[in-house]
Structure 1
Amino acid sequence: MVAVQKHGIVLEKREVDFEIEGVLNPAVIMEDGEIHMFYRAVAKGNRSTIGYCRLSDPLTVAERLDYPIMSPEYFYENHGVEDPRIVKIEDTYYMSYCAYDGINAFGAVATSKDRKRFEKQGILVPQVEGDQFREWLHFSGNINLKYFRLNMGNNYVWDKNLIFFPRRIYGQLFFLHRIKPGIQMASVDTLKDLTPAYWEDYLQNLEDYIVLDPKYEHELSYIGNGCPPIETEHGWLLIYHGVHDVVSGYMYTACAALLDKDNPAKEIGRLPYPLFIPEAEWELKGYVNNVVFPSGAVVLEDDLYIYYGAADERIAVASCKMSELLQELLLHKTI
């Protein structure tokens, strides 16, 4: 098993209105030796904005703003902008996030040239009602029946956990998203290509776009994207979350998989056990119990630092050796 060191809490909520209920699920990006963190901040009423802090090293907060850098503006996000992830592709930062209106949850994105002023580009994922989604799905023995059972009715299908690959592949923008219970991938030349017609054709052939589905006991209920993919010599390292039932409800765990560098839809390897699980008091008890939710990572030489939401109330960090993790994934090849 991969040796993981938990370094503890790196950011906690404060007596400031916009984050008085919790801080969690951060996006991180490292530039010029500093780590920039964009985190979900929760105000009373479970209304979320995105806050910002700067770390001088993986464990030390050097600067923290007393106000959000991104707030709800549009009807589709009027209850919150949640769970950001960030990458830089060429000269543009892409901050993906969950737009929540109190009922529906959709993956959206905002872009920036300077990492300070973000321009919202809107919802990227399909907006389709459950019954329509089920009608479009092609049933076969190869598709998990939970795609039918978890997405039904006249409410929109929740499609969140949107993360971009940090560079273009064959000239296209690639991103992962999540319709329960698995993880899917899409690619386009430009964001404008994500039209209703694109998504109708995509969903009618969803089986072709599924990257990962639940496989092991610790992820049996469903899985979802975590940190943006990290490019390595062996492929794209994906740190994601797995969910399974326990007596008190769901438990969220941190998981790892390796995707093919040239064809990221192809799974190379996957850990048959969680990378780490809720164990500490601050992971077991909080706004939502039994949660470690990885959402951002940085690599320093051979050290992989994974930032995660702990019990939906605070932000913590764990680390492991990148070489050890990759070696373990290659020992558990799925192809």
Structure 2
Amino acid sequence: MPDGTPPSAPFFNRQALHLRPDPSRVVVRPFRPAVEPRDLNPVDKTRANHIVDRVLAMTADETDALLAETLRNFDDRHRNLPAIFERRAAEMEDAFAAHASFSQAQRQLVGAYFLHEYSFEAAALFNPSIVPHPDQSGVAAGCRRFILSLRAVGEGHISSLTFRSGILAADGTVTIDPPARLAATPVVTARVGDRLELGFDPASDIAERVIFPVTEMQANGIEDARFVAFHDEGQTIYYATFTAYSGSGIRSELLETRDFVTFHLAPLKGAAARNKGMALFPRKIGGRYAMIARHDNESLHLILSDDLHEWGLGEVIVKPEYPWEFVQIGNCGSPIELDEGWLLFTHGVGPVRHYSIGAVLLDKDDPSRVLGRSRVPLVQPATAERHGYVPNVVYSCGAIKVGERILLPYAISDAFSTVATIRITTLLDQLKD
């Protein structure tokens, strides 16, 4: 059985790349005088007004000097801080009703007092997913530029979504662009209930963009996004199913984007959406959307739907069969279309909750038919790397096909991430019954 970088399985080529959490990368988040509830209650408004009163009691010179000092202290850590301060002040309008008008400097300074920095990947950077980059210009023949999404975890175990870009070369070498020095959360440009439209600065680097929890259902995390490039009627839309975690409950939600600048987020409906780990097929099957899900905590189910946002329970297609998956089996991202069928990477949980990665091959026309599956893990925690945020885990949220290779990013011990390439022909040999 492969153990990290397995010499016994030459088809599996783990790259010498380690994506580790960087606590120096920060975003600014709203600071509220009390933690709960998130909206200002009367007591919170009293505290907020006390802070505002203290700012307004300063002379104009004192205000200008403190604002300038604040900008000097933080401006190299964020893009366009004055505008961020202004937006935060606008969000606080209901707390300012008892006050007279503000100067621009007072307004920005007040906004600064109701913000704090958050190190969004201080604890972990894991559970990656991958899709082809929408911009392949300038990429050499046989190469593919990609976007990697990662689950970042910071203080309080709050999960957000961050990105990297990179290239898989024709010879199988993988390069990942270094993370941007700055990072920022998007502006909410539209909101109807829990349906959101988020927008980033188009001039920002993809690695600067961080999707942080916005709704109450997401309060403690946007977890394990499974991205897929979905093809329909000549168009490509990037979808990601993810788990919204409130701190006490979960719900599957759907993210949609065409350019990784503007994003739409919406809850999924139906019995399957009350669980996690849903993965969308990259195209319709028989005119219907198709999803791999697990709602019995053990097995993989195939669900078909006429509505992208509503999912029933479907039918069981893969149950735990081998010792390394006796506890449960789940998907490691969306199925990948091959000439031979749908390749689905899976994770299995064995003794002492030891996570491993395997795969199954499903019939292309009828994905409920299993053509083959791995009897032993393809990847399992290496002895030297089994320690981390959550020990004894390898896990992925998606892979892509590039030529005759699969590019598989995966996380180790819920702490950091790496990537590997796999020869398709040799992989399929591992799945033959």
Partner of 1:29: 131
> SS of the residue aligned with 1:191?
coil
Given candidates 60, 76, 99, the residue that maps to 2:217 is 76
> SS of the residue aligned with 1:75?
coil
1:59 maps onto 2:174 in alignment: yes
CA distance in 2: counterparts of 1:7 and 1:113, whole angstroms: 29
Q: Deviations over 1:88-143 (max 9, x none)?
A: 22332111111111122332111112232210121345279xxxxxxxxxxxxxxx
1:250 maps onto 2:250 in alignment: no
Given candidates 191, 198, 211, the residue that maps to 2:308 is 191
Given candidates 230, 234, 244, the residue that maps to 1:89 is 230
User: Radius of gyration: which is bigger?
Assistant: 2
Unmatched 5+ stretches in structure 2: 1-7, 26-118, 137-143, 185-208
Structure 1 residue 9: deviation in Å? Answer: 3.9
Partner of 2:18: 10
Could you say if the C-alpha distance between residues 9 and 281 of structure 1 is closer, same or farther in structure 2, counting changes exceeding 3 Å?
Answer: farther
Deviates more, 1:93-102 or 1:54-63: 54-63
Q: Deviations over 1:302-326 (max 9, x none)?
A: 2222111110010111222101111
Partner of 1:40: 151
Partner letter of residue 256 of structure 1? A
Partner of 1:316: 418
> SS of the residue aligned with 1:325?
helix
Q: Does the 8 A contact of 2:126 with 2:410 survive in 1? A: yes
* TM-score with structure 2 setting the length: 0.63
Q: Deviations over 1:198-221 (max 9, x none)?
A: x4xx4xxx6xx1121111001011
Partner of 1:326: 428
CA distance in 1: counterparts of 2:422 and 2:238, whole angstroms: 27
CA distance in 1: counterparts of 2:424 and 2:270, whole angstroms: 32
What is the correspondence of 1:217-236 to structure 2 with a 5 Å cutoff?
217-236=323-342
Structure 1 residue 8: deviation in Å? Answer: 4.2
| Higher strand fraction (1 or 2) | 1
Could you say if the C-alpha distance between residues 117 and 223 of structure 1 is closer, same or farther in structure 2, counting changes exceeding 3 Å?
Answer: same
> SS of the residue aligned with 1:278?
coil
Given candidates 176, 181, 193, the residue that maps to 2:292 is 176
CA distance in 1: counterparts of 2:321 and 2:265, whole angstroms: 35
Deviates more, 1:109-118 or 1:184-193: 184-193
Partner letter of residue 257 of structure 2? S
Given candidates 268, 280, 300, the residue that maps to 2:402 is 300
Given candidates 374, 377, 380, the residue that maps to 1:271 is 374
Partner of 2:260: 115
Partner of 1:145: none
Q: Does the 8 A contact of 2:267 with 2:309 survive in 1? A: no
CA distance in 2: counterparts of 1:264 and 1:115, whole angstroms: 30
Partner of 1:152: none
CA distance in 1: counterparts of 2:298 and 2:309, whole angstroms: 27
Partner letter of residue 85 of structure 1? R
> SS of the residue aligned with 2:277?
strand
Q: Deviations over 1:251-279 (max 9, x none)?
A: 10011100110111211111111111101
Partner letter of residue 188 of structure 1? S
CA distance in 2: counterparts of 1:193 and 1:39, whole angstroms: 26
Q: Deviations over 1:203-248 (max 9, x none)?
A: xxx6xx1121111001011011102111111110011100011xxx
Partner letter of residue 178 of structure 1? R
CA distance in 1: counterparts of 2:224 and 2:344, whole angstroms: 17
Partner letter of residue 53 of structure 1? R
Partner letter of residue 81 of structure 1? I
Could you say if the C-alpha distance between residues 160 and 192 of structure 1 is closer, same or farther in structure 2, counting changes exceeding 3 Å?
Answer: closer
Could you say if the C-alpha distance between residues 125 and 11 of structure 1 is closer, same or farther in structure 2, counting changes exceeding 3 Å?
Answer: farther
CA distance in 1: counterparts of 2:176 and 2:157, whole angstroms: 25
Q: Does the 8 A contact of 1:2 with 1:325 survive in 2? A: no
Q: How high is the sequence identity, in percent, across the aligned residues? A: 27
Q: Does the 8 A contact of 2:268 with 2:309 survive in 1? A: no
Structure 1 residue 189: deviation in Å? Answer: 1.8
CA distance in 2: counterparts of 1:292 and 1:222, whole angstroms: 14
Structure 1 residue 47: deviation in Å? Answer: 0.3
> SS of the residue aligned with 2:353?
strand
